[in-house]
Chains A and B, each alone.
Chain A
Amino acid sequence: MNQRALRLTGSTRVLPGFGLSMGISVLFISLVLLLPITGLFGQLADLSLAQYWAIITEGRVVASYMVTIGAAAVAALINAVFGLLLAWVLVRYEFPGKRLLDALMDLPFALPTAVAGITLATLYAGNGWMGKLLEPLGFQVAYTWVGIALAMAFTSIPFVVRTVQPVLEDLPAEVDEAAMSLGATDAVAFRRVIMPHLWPALVTGTGLAFVRSLGEFGAIIFIAGNMPYETEITALMIFVKLQEYDYAGASAIASVVLFVSLALLLAINIWQGRFVRRLHGGKG
């Protein structure tokens, strides 16, 4: 009787608190995520379509897209390679100081990005430790787009390591052993057995790193040099517009970054979902 009464009132969920926790979640997302975005679009309402288009296709701004996307792509690719390597080392081998290295991976998240930017700029400037070594070789890092990529790589490396690491931990060493016992060379085992498992995580991590780099400001601004048309990043363009009290212009440029980031994240999610379904036998 009791059970039936329960079912009639519709409380058949075993896990309690759905209404409350979902409500708080939605409220939180609205306040922290949706409200600012709405504000952004609100600003855009002041612009006509022609004005909007003029702002986002202005020569200096377009140049900043190129610099930002180019440097972010290079940084993401570098992070894909080295992040994978770091995750591999952290998961597969035992060595003294492993815990420390593991903790160090999160440093870019913990460090204020401006601090990182100033440190990098000091290191790689012509009179810095690294700059002194590199500049005589004709290799200028600070105040070029190489420096921008370097700063981006620094702030976004944890994304790759932290997404690949758990997947790699989940892949038993037995699988490599099985591949080798079947005659596969190390390279073939890596390419045909290990990589297919890591692809989704690696692409997700690299994608996150790329998107993070698109929006990075603090770490880059000190090392970039900020030469118009050459080493100006999009985030700086937004900042410049804000300083001119051109809020609508700043929002217009920001919306471009937002759309590119969202589209990329969505694409990665869809692609990954498809892959994961196959691993779990088509059951989702």
Chain B
Amino acid sequence: MSIRLENIAKHFGNTQALEPVNLDICEGELVGLLGPSGSGKTTLLRIIAGLESADRTSQPSRIMFGERDVTQVHVRDRRIGFVFQHYALFRHMSVYDNVAFGLTVMPKKERPSNGEIRARVFRLLEMVKLEHLAKRYPAQLSGGQQQRVSLARALAVKPDVLLLDEPFGALDAKVRQDLRRWLRRLHSELNFTSVFVTHDQEEALELSDRVVVMSNGRIEQIDAPDTLYHSPKNRFVFEFLGDVNHLEGSVNNGVLTCGDAYLHVDLSNGPEELLLRPHEVRLAEQASDTCHLPVVVTAISPVGAEVRVELEADWLAKPWLATVRHADFERLAMKRGQRLFAHPRQWHRFEEEPQNTARQTRAA
């Protein structure tokens, strides 16, 4: 079922939680709403669910599920499944009763027979690999298991859309990774339309078909994960999607200077701020004629495919983060306190004016 939002706004008291927002979600899509806390992503999800209502504004707002206008439809009649961050399981009911709940509260004439309910609940429990725990109570399950029960419970009523509010937020890293993979697989098997909220950019990029990046109640960009990462529309999106190093200084005759550091750039005179991803910083023992960025290694984390190195210098307001291949790391014999020179492989800059979101990426 496709979802179409038209002109959805929301305020709480004096704060505008959501500026008027338009959004189209295609049938069968898995869409991530990504943003920092307070960006309006959860509010938007709750409005789609019908747990909050959108403001009445001068322009009419509408929520469409396929051809069905659900703007005025109560949450219980919207045919959605909602998964809460803290599971919201019914603690006094067994796992089986939790999953069966949506079926047992149906009006008498629509309600499946007890045998059918039983079959469907066990099919769902099998799908979430919890059939052996049907008789347990939620308090006897781990966080990951509880979240799977909550998912099975939401899917039991065959919702048109599945909405997940930070579904993995309360779980530890390993379980989170497993559940993500498992949700992705479930989604491609059952092919329902789903929207999930997250503040974790990695989660959003890994899971979603498309990501909606939000900040301050506005949608900043809607794109597929790779497009989003490689061509962010503005500085907020760029900064939110990964670690960023800042190089601030003033340009004079094609040279950006900042304390005793300088870098040749082909920009016009004036103050500038350049942005670099950690993998765009190369480290060497020498400076070059066009680039003199002395740094000191302050922390080294050799975990993973690359070594993460933290760099500090008196011309830097905030420490830089660089990722170095293990081979380079060994060649330079890096250790804490070592003096090196940073060389940008490439850098990015965004115009300050919010209207003009021109972005430049230059190889250095």
Knowing A174-B88, A175-B90, A279-B91 touch, does A180 contact B140 (C-beta < 8 A)?
no
B93 CB → nearest A CB, Å: 8
**Does B84 contact A183, Cβ atoms closer than 8 Å?**
no
State whether A177 and B88 are in contact (beta carbons under 8 Å apart), knowing that A183-B157, A279-B137, A282-B140 are contacts in the complex. Answer: yes
A181/B137 in contact, CB under 8 A: no
Alpha-carbon separation in the docked complex, A188 to B108 (Å) = 13
A25 within 8 A of B: no
**Given A172-B88, A175-B90, A279-B92, A181 contacting B139 (CB threshold 8 A):** no
**Within 8 Å of chain A (Cβ to Cβ): is B102?**
yes
Q: Which residues of B contact A281 (CB under 8 A)?
A: 136-140
Is A178 part of the binding interface, using a Cβ–Cβ cutoff of 8 Å? Answer: yes
Q: For window 86-133 of chain B, which residues contact chain A by CB distance below 8 Å?
A: 86, 88-92, 101-102, 105-106
Sample of 18 A–B contacts (CB below 8 Å): A174-B86, A174-B88, A175-B88, A177-B51, A177-B82, A178-B150, A181-B154, A182-B76, A182-B153, A182-B156, A184-B105, A188-B105, A193-B90, A196-B90, A196-B92, A197-B92, A281-B136, A282-B140
Q: Report the nearest B residue to A175, measured CB to CB.
A: B88
Per-position contact with A for B138-158: 1 when CB-CB < 8 Å, else 0? Answer: 111000000000100110110
A-contact 0/1 string along B24-65, CB 8 Å cutoff = 000000000000000000000000010100000000000000
- Of the listed residues A172, A179, A181, A278, the one surrounded by the most CB atoms of chain B closer than 10 A to its CB is A181
- The 5 closest A-B CB pairs, nearest first, are A281-B139, A182-B102, A281-B140, A174-B88, A178-B88
Among B76, B136, B139, B156, which residue has the most Cβ atoms of chain A within 10 A?
B76
Q: Report chain A residues within 8 Å CB of B153.
A: 178, 182
How far is it, in angstroms, between the C-alpha of A106 and the C-alpha of B150 when the chains are bound? Answer: 39
Question: Residues of A at under 8 Å CB distance from B?
Answer: 172, 174-175, 177-185, 188, 192-193, 196-197, 278-283
Q: Which residues of A contact B225 (CB under 8 A)?
A: none
Interface centre among B91, B106, B136, B138 (most CB of A within 10 A): B91
CB <8 Å contact, A180 and B92: no
Taking Cβ atoms with an 8 Å cutoff, the residues of B that contact A are: 49, 51, 74-77, 80-82, 84, 86, 88-92, 101-102, 105-106, 136-140, 150, 153-154, 156-157
Q: How far is the CA of A175 from the CA of B86 in the complex (A)?
A: 10
Q: Given the complex of chains A and B, what is the CA–CA distance between A192 and B157 in angstroms? A: 17
A185/B76 in contact, CB under 8 A:
yes
Q: Which residues from chain A contact B136 at a C-beta distance below 8 Å?
A: 281
Tell me the complex Cα distance, A183–B106, Å: 7
The CA of A70 and the CA of B157, in the complex, are separated in Å by 47
A197-B88 in contact given A181-B75, A181-B76, A181-B80 (Cβ < 8 Å): no
- Candidate in A175, A183, A197 with the most chain B CB atoms within 10 angstroms: A183
Contacts of B91 in A (CB 8 A): 197, 279
A183 near B92 (CB under 8 angstroms)? no
CB distance from B42 to the nearest CB of A (A): 12
**Which residues of the partner chain B approach A172 to less than 8 Å between Cβ atoms?**
86, 88
Pairwise interchain contact A178-B82, C-beta atoms closer than 8 A:
yes
* CA A177 to CA B153, docked complex, whole Å: 13
Which of A180, A192, A279 counts the most chain B CB atoms within 10 A?
A180
Bound complex: CA A280 to CA B91 (Å): 8
Chain A: minimal CB distance from B296 (Å): 44
Q: How far is it, in angstroms, between the C-alpha of A49 and the C-alpha of B86 when the chains are bound? A: 61
Hey, which chain A residues are within 8 Å of B81, CB to CB? 181
CB closest chain-B residue, reference A275: B92
Instruction: Report Cα–Cα, A232/B101, bound state, in Å.
Output: 51
Bound-state Cα–Cα, A184 to B89, Å = 14
A279-B91, A281-B140 given as contacts; is B82 within 8 A of A181 (CB)? yes
Partner of A177, one of B75, B92, B139, B150: B75
User: A181 and B105 in contact (CB under 8 A), knowing A174-B84, A197-B91?
Assistant: no
In the bound complex, what is the Cα–Cα distance between A282 and B91 (angstroms)? Answer: 12
Closest beta carbon of chain B to A271's beta carbon, Å: 15
